[in-house]
Amino acid sequence: MKFAIALFSAAHAPSSRRALLFAQAALAGGHEIVRLFFYQDGVYNASDAVVTPQDELDLPKQWRAFITEQNLDGVVCIAAALRRGVLNAEEAGRYQRDAVAVSAPWELSGLGQLHDAVQDADRLICFGGA
């Protein structure tokens, strides 16, 4: 089965951990992940600026490692990222900001990437959100 996964909650939320565990289990079960799409507060999972306390799981680090190791498509919604100051080098330059918080393997792109993923997937699985 092909999955598109959308994550709407920040790295400290339990649903972020659940999303990662689901994605890992899906691949271990022989399924395919078409795309991981990080939206709303989910963009914080892609931020290099998040500092996790030593006694907590560093989910941004785990997401980065998982996406890199599995060669997955990790897309961060550009509108949600801009609103939250989670910028890559290109957007930081465009808006004349000093802070760069997103780097490879993440890609900033539009909501259309989620739509495209849904078209290619058998199921869309969403985690978090209000």
Mean pLDDT per block of 10 residues along the chain (130 residues) reads: 98 95 98 98 95 93 97 97 96 93 95 97 92
d(CA 94, CA 42): 23
Q: What is the pLDDT of residue 130?
A: 67
Q: Is residue 77 flagged as an active site residue?
A: yes
Residue 48 CB partners (closer than 8 Å, separation 6+): 60, 100, 101, 102, 103
**Domain 2-127 coded CATH 1.10.1200.10:** no
Q: What is the pLDDT of residue 129?
A: 73
d(CA 80, CA 102): 13
Q: What are phi and psi of 108, to 5 degrees?
A: -85, 130
Tell me the residue length of the chain.
130
Query: Strand order of the sheet with strand 74-77?
Result: 107-109, 74-77, 32-38, 2-7, 123-127
Q: What is the pLDDT of residue 126?
A: 98
**Triad 20, 71, 37: Cα angle to 5°:** 50
Q: What is the pLDDT of residue 99?
A: 87
Per DSSP, what are the bridge partners of residue 2?
Answer: 32
Domain ranges of the chain: 2-127
Q: What is the pLDDT of residue 43?
A: 97
Query: Which is the catalytic residue, given 26, 77, 87, 121?
Result: 77
d(CA 114, CA 58): 25
Q: What's the pTM value of the predicted model, to 2 decimals?
A: 0.95
